[in-house]
């Protein structure tokens, strides 16, 4: 077998026996190929059969790169079996290791530059683009290396920029979420007029701004969109408009929702007109492109609804959604943009955050529309039902708990294939609704929901226990305070157990006690002592210990708030057997000053109430002495 032998100097290496291995089944040629052998003059011999196939060459080069430097392997490959096609395959093989791919390509480029007379041995833009793709896909991606390789290609290989390669750099900067560098590269291309940019170039630049955290993103995106409309022949497509919408959706600028809605209307008109024109001309566009436009429009509408949700304007969000549904019904021949459950969920969440007194009623009405067998409305999922349950639970209607319970049973009766089986959050909403209810048996209903959660094999979290503490704390049951303490200790014991098991990690926020649970317990004592005045001293002592525990804690989620201090003062005011209640209230007020808590008029009234009681006691004692 003819062999071309290339000698490589051994550099500070111990005796190494290099064995050429192949993936899967070894090929006969590779089995007979000579390996890297140590010769008498302390050099290593690399051998490659001249008649081996391209894939054999690729496998051999892959092994040599693991054993030798990139420069050594490049020299060996360049002198033996170099071809542009094989080089491209080698670079693809090194896709997961862009640093090695770049080093190997640059080593080849240096060898090509040394032998300029040979027109057969060259590098092409495909080689450089392959390495740039490797840097783009690498984790973490390196946009800087991608752009530097582009400059290296022009300077050392003499290969000029072209649109596709520039777009790859923009795409990589976008993936890196560095819009400023993407914009600088884009402006450089425009200023130097290196290559003509296309629609993808603008799309990638807008993508970079849409992922940026810069407060200037909406303004920059609008400028890019305006430039496309005025100075190019490219009409912004749905993807470009969607990126601008995403920039505005993340911003906190006043009137962002109006701008987003305007962009959405523009996109919808554009896509509707495009589909109508295609029908008239009997043109069948690429199905994937149409699907992409539909998805972009749905995402755009979702951003509009979320923008109005952010400012708690549920009325406008619902109006926009129902108008969209009506348009969908009227476009019988096209029906291109179907409403989705996520859209309705966004509006339901807007009603949840709304300050409207009728938010629960409006949310239920929208849910009923989804449940009707109208094909224009998507079927509600468990998230939609839970959002409505949250609206009902947070409302102050007298029948809120019963309505929430009715809806919960309705979820159980639905077809399980629709994905409406109640989850942990659904049951918690109903439990909290009962906890806030004025029903005399509210605590028993909350306890029943709690047992239901356990029977379903779910793990109760602090939200469940907080609801139970509130429900029992508001009841007149003689054992209410002991049950409250029992549930409170469950939260703390779970937190301590998790901390011991995971010394180096934090416990889940869903199971750690917060200011909410502490305040609920303090409020429970305030209710308890008003009915059990003989427990005044013990109740106030326990409440003060809880408050001190919160103040001394380093956990920021345990910092007492105004509601906490108000609950403490209410407990002191209700403890009629406690002497010097006014002094105790003054001490609490002093702690609020030290902790820089917000002292509201309600707090002042509570302190005055305790102080007023103290004065009445002193006047009564004086009259008795007289």
The pLDDT value recorded for residue 374 is 81
The whole-number pLDDT of residue 25 equals: 31
Nearest one of 133, 128, 167, 174 to 150, comparing CA atoms:
128
Contact status, residue 316 vs residue 308, Cβ threshold 8 Å: yes
What backbone torsions phi and psi does residue 502 show, to the nearest 5 degrees? Answer: -125, 75
Percent of the chain with pLDDT over 90: 58
pLDDT for position 512: 82
For residue 21, the model assigns a pLDDT of 30
Using alpha carbons, select from 502, 498, 469 the residue that is nearest to residue 484. Answer: 469
Sole residue written with tokens 């923008």: 307
Q: Tell me if 224 sits within 8 A of 236, measured CB to CB.
A: no
**Integer Cα distance of 114 and 309 in angstroms:** 64
Helix, strand, coil share of the chain (percent; to 5): 70, 5, 30
CA atoms of 333 and 325, how far apart (whole Å): 15
pLDDT value at position 118?
57
- Residue 94: φ, ψ to 5°: -95, 20
Q: How buried is residue 207: exposed, middle or buried, by Cβ count under 10 Å (0-12/13-18/19+)?
A: buried
> For residue 276, what are the CA distances in angstroms to 271, 303, 337, 423?
9, 25, 13, 44
Hey, where are the domains in the chain?
A: 161-253, 524-626
Interhelix angle 382-394/400-413, rounded to 10 degrees, is: 170
- Mapped onto helix, strand or coil, the DSSP state of residue 336 is coil
Strands 43-49 and 3-9: antiparallel
3-state secondary structure of 512: coil
Write down the pTM of the prediction.
Answer: 0.74
Spans of the chain below 70 pLDDT: 1-54, 116-120, 276-291, 332-336, 416-417, 495-510, 613-626
């Amino acid at each position: 077998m003819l062999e071309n032998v290339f000698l490589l100097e051994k550099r500070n290496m111990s005796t190494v026996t290099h064995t050429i291995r192949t993936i899967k089944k070894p090929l006969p040629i590779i089995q007979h190929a000579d390996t890297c052998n140590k010769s008498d003059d302390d050099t290593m011999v690399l051998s490659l059969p001249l008649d081996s196939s391209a894939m054999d060459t690729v496998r051999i080069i892959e092994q040599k790169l693991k054993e030798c430097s990139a420069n050594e392997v490049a020299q060996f490959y360049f002198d033996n079996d170099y071809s542009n096609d094989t080089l491209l395959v080698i670079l693809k093989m090194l896709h997961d290791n862009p640093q090695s791919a770049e080093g190997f390509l640059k080593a080849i480029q240096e060898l090509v530059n040394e032998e300029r007379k040979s027109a057969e041995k060259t590098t092409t833009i495909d080689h450089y683009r392959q390495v740039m793709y490797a840097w783009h896909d690498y984790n973490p991606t390196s946009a800087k290396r991608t752009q530097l390789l582009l400059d290296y290609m022009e300077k050392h290989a003499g290969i000029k920029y072209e649109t596709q390669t520039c777009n790859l750099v923009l795409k990589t900067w976008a993936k890196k979420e560095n819009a400023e560098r993407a914009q600088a590269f884009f402006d450089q291309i425009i200023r130097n007029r290196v290559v003509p940019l296309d629609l993808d170039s603008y799309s990638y630049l807008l993508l970079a701004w849409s992922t940026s955290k810069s407060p200037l993103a909406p303004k920059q995106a609008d400028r890019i969109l305006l430039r496309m409309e005025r100075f190019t022949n490219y009409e912004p497509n749905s993807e470009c408009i969607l990126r601008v919408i995403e920039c505005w959706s993340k911003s906190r600028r006043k009137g962002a929702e109006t701008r987003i809605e305007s962009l959405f209307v523009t996109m919808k008109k554009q896509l509707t007109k495009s589909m109508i024109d295609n029908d008239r001309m009997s043109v069948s566009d690429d199905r994937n492109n149409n699907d992409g436009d539909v998805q972009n429009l749905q995402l755009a509408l979702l951003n509009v609804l979320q923008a109005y949700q952010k400012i708690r304007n549920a009325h406008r969000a619902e109006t926009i959604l129902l108008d969209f549904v009506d348009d969908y019904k009227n476009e019988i021949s096209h029906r291109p943009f179907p409403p989705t459950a996520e859209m309705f969920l966004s509006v339901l969440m807007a009603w949840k955050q709304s300050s409207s007194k009728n938010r629960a009623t409006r949310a239920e009405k929208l849910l009923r529309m989804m449940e009707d067998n109208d094909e224009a409305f998507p079927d509600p999922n468990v998230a939609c039902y839970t959002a409505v349950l949250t609206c009902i639970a947070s409302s102050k209607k007298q029948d809120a708990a019963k309505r929430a319970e009715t809806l919960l049973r309705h979820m159980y009766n639905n077809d399980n294939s629709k994905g409406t089986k109640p989850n942990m959050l659904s049951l918690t909403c109903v439990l909290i609704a009962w906890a806030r209810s004025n029903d005399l048996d509210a605590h028993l209903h909350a306890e029943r929901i709690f047992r239901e959660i356990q029977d379903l094999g779910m793990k109760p979290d602090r939200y469940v226990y907080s609801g139970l503490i509130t429900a029992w704390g508001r009841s007149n049951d003689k054992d209410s305070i002991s049950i409250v303490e029992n549930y409170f200790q469950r939260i703390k014991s779970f937190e301590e157990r998790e901390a011991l098991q995971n010394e180096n990690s934090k416990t889940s926020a869903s199971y750690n006690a917060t200011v909410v649970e502490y305040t609920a317990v303090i409020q429970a004592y305030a209710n308890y002592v008003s009915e059990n005045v003989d427990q005044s001293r013990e109740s106030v002592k326990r409440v003060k210990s809880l408050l001190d525990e919160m103040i001394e804690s380093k956990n920021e989620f345990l910092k007492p708030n105004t509601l906490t201090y108000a609950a403490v003062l209410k407990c002191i005011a209700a403890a009629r057997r406690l002497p010097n209640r006014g002094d105790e209230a003054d001490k609490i007020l002093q702690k609020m000053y030290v902790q820089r808590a917000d002292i509201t008029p309600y707090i002042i009234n509570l302190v005055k109430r305790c102080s007023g009681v103290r004065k009445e006691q002193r006047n009564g004692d004086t009259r008795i002495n007289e």
